[in-house]
Every structure is written in C-alpha cells, then in structure tokens.
Structure 1
Amino acid sequence: MTPFPISETSPIEHGGCLPDSADVVVVGGGVTGVMTAYWLARAGQRVVLAEKGRIAGEQSSRNWGWIRQQGRDPDELPIMVEANRHWRDLAPQLDTDIGLKQGGVLYLGETEKDMADFEGWMPHARARGVDTQVLSRAGLADLLPGARGVWHGGLYTPSDMRAEPWLAVPALARLAAKEGAVIAENCAVRAIDVAAGRVAGVVTEAGRIKAPAVVVAGGAWSRLLLQAHGVQIPQLSVRASVAASDPLPLVADCGVAGSKLAFRRRADGGYTFAPSSFHELFIGPDAFRSLPKFVTQLKGNPFGTSYRPAAPQGYPDAWGTPRRWDADRSSPFEAIRVLNPKPNMGKLFQLKAMFARMYPDLPPVRFHTAWAGMIDTMPDVVPVIDRAESLPGLTIATGMSGHGFGIGPGVGRVVADLVQGNDPGHVLHRFRLSRFSDGSRIDLGPAL
C-alpha cells in the first residue's frame, strides 16, 4: 500500500489493437475518463478509452484520496452524494483493496468567519441529507484528542470517506475493461476527426478510430486539445505538492484540513500531508489569455496561488508548446507522456513543522515519498460538464479543480448519459461551457 504516483515508468496494463470504429471515444485515463468509459460500457456502448501515458498517471493518482461531500458547491453536491454511493457499491467489485474507509472529513474553524461559513453551508447539507455537523470546541477536542491549537470549532461529515487513488483508479479501469471497454495506454489522441461540421472520430498515434461521439476528459491537457479545434475554454493548471509519511500513531481517523495544513491517515498507517490552500501557477500564454476570467478568483483568495515565471518545456501552457500541429505527425501529447512535476519541498517541510506543533508528543514525522500534480482548474472552481455546441458529437468533462477523485464515479455516470442523450438526473446549468462567453458573472464555488 506504499503510495507512489503512477508515472511513465509504470508498466502498461492496457495495450493491444484498437478497433477501427466505436460508438464513443473517451480521451483521457483519469478517474473521470475511466468512470465515463465504465458507465458507457455498462450501457452496452462500444467505447474506447485512449490515454497518452498511463491510467491515473497524472492528478488521478496524485491527489489526497479524499471522497468528500463536505463543502461542495451546492450544484456539485447532488452528484457527489451519488458518487459516495457508487464508491461503496464499486469497491467490493474491484480486484484490489483500494483502502476505502469511512472516516469522515473535518474542517478546523480557526476564526469566527470560518464558523459562520460552516453554518452557511449547513442548509445545503440538510437539503441533500448529508450528515454534516458543526462542532463546538468541546466536540472538536473529542474528535482530535491530544491536538494542540486554538480553534473555535469545526465542520465534520462522518459519512465522507477516503481511498488510495494510485490503487483505486487503475482498479476501476480494470473493472471498465471487464465490462467491455477497450482501453489503450501509451496512445495519444492527436486530434478530433471532423466531417461535415461534426465529430467523426479521433486520430490517434496508432491510427484513426471512427466514432460519432467523443468525450474530452484530459485534465490538464484538455484545453490544448480543445483549442486546436476552435473550442475555447478558460482552464489553467496549478501545481499541488503532496508528501507521505512513515507510519505514525493514530491521531485522527478522519481527513483534517485547516487554513494551511491538510492531512489524512492512509491504509499503511502513515499520513498524507498537503498544503490546504496553496497552489503554484506557471505563467504561460494561456494564463495571460485567461486572466480576465480569473480576476474574481484572484480577488477572493489573493494569497492562495504562488506564481512561477514559466512552465517547464513541454507542459500544456509552456511558451514553446505548439498550439497547432499536423495530426499525421507527433503531437505535444506524445512529448510528455505523464506530467510529473517536481514537488515544492520547502512548502512540504513547513507542513511537517506545523504538524509537529499540533502533535508535539508524537515521534518526528519522516517523509518517505513526495510528489506533485497539475490540477486542472476553472475560474469559478467548478468543472465544465457539457456538450460543445460548436462541434456536435463532442462532450467535455474537465476542470475538476482538485475535486475530481471523489466525485469521479458520479461525474462519469452523468457524462455517459449526456453522451447517449439520456436525462443526466441532475441540473447541469452550473457546469455549462457557455457561462464563460454569455456574459454570466463569475460565481465562485465555496472556499470550503
């Protein structure tokens, strides 16, 4: 169970020949793409999932592993409640113990404003039947015995869960393949094939696949592929660093997040640590183009993002990354099979010191692994889940904004029904692509 993000050196699990045609092609092997393929295959669709590198090679194996209803945007919450249910149903069907456990999620209230924000979210929890509760100082002390700190209280959802993402998403992919989905790793989609103004399939590095429907669920790479086809989406990617410790005594069975430090226990007895509200943006051409859309987010959390002058070579928003290419030649998606950014070790060592102050009686924390991932984020911190009006046959599921792992089974089910023309079962107006071009105000999701 030792955590280690999947990388380009990880063995290929899904290879073999691609079919000449399919009902749907899914681009991207993260949790959203995998679960979309799963639900489509369950519905009897001939579905191909193409991943340029490895299943879960990027953010889907690099996240915190939280399966969190708490603090969700009110329009995301119904899908997340559904996803929570799917996780419980899916785990027994998998060929691997993914460490799924109901331990709850706890937010620490460090200020009176925090407590007011917690109270403000409670009506959404009650409306959806989520068992969230606002804790007093005494209630917090019962949940975190031995912790040192000055808190006003907390927000706690006992039914929230956790799992080990580097195990869970590959196991879900194997389940999708068992249901009939064709999955191809190390197989980049270079372009969407278009005929008579609508989707006709995709061009992969291994050849063309004819299909009347394509789903783009490419995470940090979605914008690069979409804009090559004239579909503009103001998505940027930020670096988030994470570390895993050696085993420690049990101090909290729930995921815990304050304003600077977040941690959760893992199945191997260690803890996963991350900065709770700190990300790094590499400045590139897309960042400049999208700046007007992100102004509201920047004003709402001006110190939550640190800026770096330029992305490393080959990154989606690097200055030298091509925006146009010939589909019959190697594409930017083949240049970097797995986006594997270096973690910010200085920030992670700060977390170690914060945890030591919170639990001074524990043995020293030792990190045995550290990594980073690129989170695909949107100006309002909620995803795009929509059909592209300008290109019939194209469905977009991206910009999960760091919330994708937990909600993945729910979003995949919704997207599968969208593709098939079925009722998705939820109101998706909040997630429409046109909100960034129709004059709508940028309405930030809750900063919880």
Structure 2
Amino acid sequence: MNNPHADIIIVGAGIMGTSAAFFLRRRGYSVLLLERGLVGQHASGTNFGNVRRQGRFLPQLALANRSREIWGRLPELIGDDIEFIPSGHLRVCFRPEEITRLETYAQAPEARELGLRIYQGAAMRALFPYLGPDVMAASHAPFDGHANPRLSAPAFARAAVREGVELRENTEISTVDKVGELFHVTSVSGEQFQAPRLLVTAGAWGSRLSTQFGEPVPMQPHGPQMAVTEPLPYVFKEVVGVLSDVTEEVIYFRQIPRGNVIFGGCYRSRPNLDTLRAAAEPKGLLIQLPQLKRVAPALARANVIRTWSGVEGYVVDDRPIMGPSHQVDGLYYAFGFCGHGFQLGPGVGDVMAELIDTGTTSTPIEPFLISRFAQYQAPLDVALAGSLAR
C-alpha cells in the first residue's frame, strides 16, 4: 500500500487534474495525483489552445468567467508563463440567419461580461481586413485569447508539486473500489493506493472508471485534426472560428507571435482508447485547407509543416461531467469536456477544490452533474461486483 495518508487521490493529470491538485493543496489537503502516461499527454496537450468564452453553452459561462479570471493571473499564481495572450476572439459566419444567432447570443444576460460586438460590412472589413468575401459578420470578444496547451498542464503540475502534491506518472489504473471509508485504487502493475476521497479527471477514459461505481456515461472519443504552418508575418492577432451547423465549415485558427498559424476543425477521427492513439488523417487537411482559404484568403498558399491529433472525450449531450457522484460519498468527477475544456481547466480545478472542501460551490454546476444519466446507472453492488471480477 502506497501513500496511505493522502486526503484525496486524483486520477488523471491533464489540466483538470493538475489544477485541481494545485488548488486542493492550497486549501491544505494532501493530494496524490496519478497519471497513466505523462502530464498533459492527451487532450490537455494536443488541443487547439483556445481560451475562448463566446459561443459556449450559456449556463457554462459562469464557470468560463471564473476560469478567465484565473487565466489572467496565472504567471503570479503558478510561477510559469504558459503564453496566454488576450488577443480577442472572432466568431464569423457566412449566412444571414447565422448573424441573428450571433446577435441573440451577444444579447443574452449570461454573456454580458464578454463585451461582445457584432461587425458587418465596411466596419468589419476595416477592423479585420484579412476576412474573405464570404464572411458576412463577425462577433468580437475582446477579452478572449489563446495559450500554449503543451505548457499548461505541466506548469500546473510543477506548481502543485512545489506546493507538496505527490505526482506519479506512468501509473495506469485498472480498478477503483470503495471499502468502508476508503477508496482503493489499484494500478495495472499491482500498486495499491488508498484515500477517503477520489477525484476522476481521466478525460476520454473517465467513464471507464465511473462505470466501476455504477455510473456509466454515454460518451465517445474523438480526435481533433490539428495542423501548423510555416512562420508568416504576424497579422492575425485575433483567434478566429466559424459559426456553422455544417461540420466541414467549422474551421478555426490562431497565429502565435513567432508567426506560425495553428488551425483545426472541420473533421474528427475516431481514436482507440486502448492504444491511446488518434490518427492525424490526410482527409482532415484536405477539408480544412479550402475552408481556411475561405475565411482568410491570405493563407491560401501557406505551407503546412506538421499535423497531429489527440484523444478527446465527447459526452452524448455535449456537456461535461462535473461534480459529486450520484451514488458514492467522497467520489467526484471532472471529465468529458467535449473538446472545450482547455479554457475551463483552471476554473474547473478551482471549483472542484471548493466543492470538495466545503461541500458546495459558488459557481453553478448543476447542468454538468452525472446524475442526469441516472437511467444508465446500475445498482452500486452490481457495479462493484463487476469491478472485482475484472
């Protein structure tokens, strides 16, 4: 038995798990953070890097706002620069009915902190001259931006370790059980860990662990198709994304100060959760490049120097799982963020630490509770019997 005195075990060291570990340690808890591979190896380190609030599910904006406040003070909070740039974010569209959707969203009370303004015609062309002729309108969020996902989870992990968190990488979990007041976590290699509280932040693999407690979540893995160009003159200051119900049109891109343009969207592959791999498929690039040209014609001849993908977990209703277990005291979840978790990460960690510490949270998370999938859940004794039989 290892580290029997930890107050809480966290399974999964992406940006959710590392930030939760950091904030829990700040609240005085001893924390054991377990990661099957390396910190930030999957969705947290392979995503687009969007620190975006506009366009989110409106009940999620309170959480996004809390997270944005933390993003604004990260260097002083964690002692690391993860290249957050509040560059602004443009959400553009191609059709008149989509303009109405942009306007309706901007007028929603929940969106008042975003500072949204809708631009069309000559005003839009004057402010954002790089937009192509098909673009009819652009919603500008001045306080949104982007950051480097490869740096983010490792930076939170280093800060958490400095605070006293115990981190174990290359520790894959096979089973989780609760016996009496303690959770028993067993690794594939046979190591056992115990603590009175357990937080599952295992991303696309989260449902595999929640299922062991009779709380399966209907979700699927997807692999975003990402690419980066050669360095170009630094002219695209804003992050740009397309509003459309046509999947193949939803391109998004950002330029970093050294000139490279990072882009993604339009197509997703189907990863393999057992091999931990998601393919960067050439089909994705063939769909993306015409859409990139459509939004920003100046990028038509840019050379792509690298492509990649990652493993992201998508819940059937496109909302994350976040909050306490519906069946087990001391068990908590934060996974399945449907490709939208990077901006939320610091806020999720802070909210989960508050919830675990006080039993409640000042930021509403009711739409994300696992209890909404109660119809899928098995009796707890049946679930535990299945867990022990594996």
TM-score (norm 2): 0.88
Deviates more, 1:94-103 or 1:364-373: 94-103
User: 1:428 offset after TM fit, Å?
Assistant: 1.8
Q: Distance in 2 between matches of 1:95 and 1:412?
A: 17
The letter of the residue matching 2:292 is F
Which position in structure 2 is the counterpart of 1:226? Answer: 210
User: 1:359 offset after TM fit, Å?
Assistant: 4.5
Q: Distance in 1 between matches of 2:4 and 2:170?
A: 18
The 3-state SS of whatever aligns with 1:194 is: strand
Q: Provide Cα deviations, 1:122-144, integer angstroms capped at 9, x if missing partner.
A: 23366542211112223321332
Contact 2:33 2:167 in 1 (8 A): yes
Q: Provide Cα deviations, 1:187-236, integer angstroms capped at 9, x if missing partner.
A: 1222223113x652422336222201000110011111222332211122
Q: Distance in 2 between matches of 1:161 and 1:177?
A: 28
- The alpha-carbon distance between structure 1 residues 273 and 392, as it changes in their structure 2 partners (threshold 3 A), is same
Across the aligned residues of Structure 1 and Structure 2, the Cα RMSD in angstroms comes to 2.2
Contact 1:356 1:365 in 2 (8 A): no
Deviates more, 1:421-430 or 1:78-87: 421-430
1:394 corresponds to which of 331, 336, 356: 331
Contact 2:182 2:194 in 1 (8 A): no
Q: Distance in 2 between matches of 1:52 and 1:247?
A: 34
Which position in structure 1 is the counterpart of 2:303? Answer: 366
- The alpha-carbon distance between structure 1 residues 267 and 21, as it changes in their structure 2 partners (threshold 3 A), is farther
| Match status 1:72 vs 2:61 | no
Which position in structure 2 is the counterpart of 1:101? Answer: 85
Deviates more, 1:397-406 or 1:127-136: 127-136
The 3-state SS of whatever aligns with 1:71 is: coil
Q: Provide Cα deviations, 1:355-390, integer angstroms capped at 9, x if missing partner.
A: 345544568312222111122111221111121122
Q: Distance in 2 between matches of 1:209 and 1:362?
A: 51
Q: Provide Cα deviations, 1:134-181, integer angstroms capped at 9, x if missing partner.
A: 122233213321432222211110100210100122111111111111
Contact 1:132 1:155 in 2 (8 A): yes
Q: Distance in 2 between matches of 1:58 and 1:361?
A: 32
Compare the two structures and name the one with the higher helix fraction: 2
| Match status 1:279 vs 2:268 | yes
1:131 corresponds to which of 93, 115, 127: 115
Q: Distance in 2 between matches of 1:142 and 1:98?
A: 31
- The alpha-carbon distance between structure 1 residues 350 and 249, as it changes in their structure 2 partners (threshold 3 A), is farther
The letter of the residue matching 1:367 is V
The letter of the residue matching 1:203 is T
Contact 2:18 2:153 in 1 (8 A): yes
1:268 corresponds to which of 258, 281, 286: 258
Contact 1:143 1:252 in 2 (8 A): no
1:383 corresponds to which of 301, 312, 320: 320
| Match status 1:200 vs 2:183 | yes
Q: Distance in 2 between matches of 1:272 and 1:68?
A: 15
- The alpha-carbon distance between structure 1 residues 349 and 127, as it changes in their structure 2 partners (threshold 3 A), is closer
The 3-state SS of whatever aligns with 1:108 is: strand
Q: Distance in 2 between matches of 1:207 and 1:19?
A: 11
1:29-178 alignment, distance < 5 Å:
29-124=13-108, 128-178=112-162
The 3-state SS of whatever aligns with 1:414 is: helix
The 3-state SS of whatever aligns with 2:221 is: strand
User: 1:114 offset after TM fit, Å?
Assistant: 1.1
Q: Distance in 2 between matches of 1:378 and 1:184?
A: 28
The 3-state SS of whatever aligns with 1:341 is: coil
User: 1:425 offset after TM fit, Å?
Assistant: 0.6
User: 1:96 offset after TM fit, Å?
Assistant: 4.2
- The alpha-carbon distance between structure 1 residues 268 and 95, as it changes in their structure 2 partners (threshold 3 A), is farther
Q: Distance in 1 between matches of 2:257 and 2:33?
A: 30
The letter of the residue matching 1:79 is L
Q: Distance in 2 between matches of 1:268 and 1:180?
A: 35
Deviates more, 1:203-212 or 1:391-400: 203-212
Contact 1:192 1:199 in 2 (8 A): no
1:207-246 alignment, distance < 5 Å:
207-246=191-230
Q: Distance in 2 between matches of 1:359 and 1:151?
A: 9
Q: Distance in 1 between matches of 2:182 and 2:260?
A: 47
- The alpha-carbon distance between structure 1 residues 41 and 248, as it changes in their structure 2 partners (threshold 3 A), is same
The letter of the residue matching 2:183 is A
Which position in structure 2 is the counterpart of 1:413? Answer: 350
Q: Distance in 2 between matches of 1:413 and 1:166?
A: 21
Contact 1:78 1:128 in 2 (8 A): no
1:423 corresponds to which of 345, 360, 364: 360
Q: Distance in 2 between matches of 1:357 and 1:49?
A: 44
Q: Distance in 2 between matches of 1:218 and 1:361?
A: 40
Contact 2:49 2:342 in 1 (8 A): yes
Deviates more, 1:358-367 or 1:111-120: 358-367
- The alpha-carbon distance between structure 1 residues 346 and 49, as it changes in their structure 2 partners (threshold 3 A), is same
Contact 1:226 1:232 in 2 (8 A): yes
Q: Distance in 1 between matches of 2:284 and 2:126?
A: 30
Q: Distance in 2 between matches of 1:405 and 1:366?
A: 27
The 3-state SS of whatever aligns with 2:58 is: coil
Which position in structure 2 is the counterpart of 1:327? Answer: none
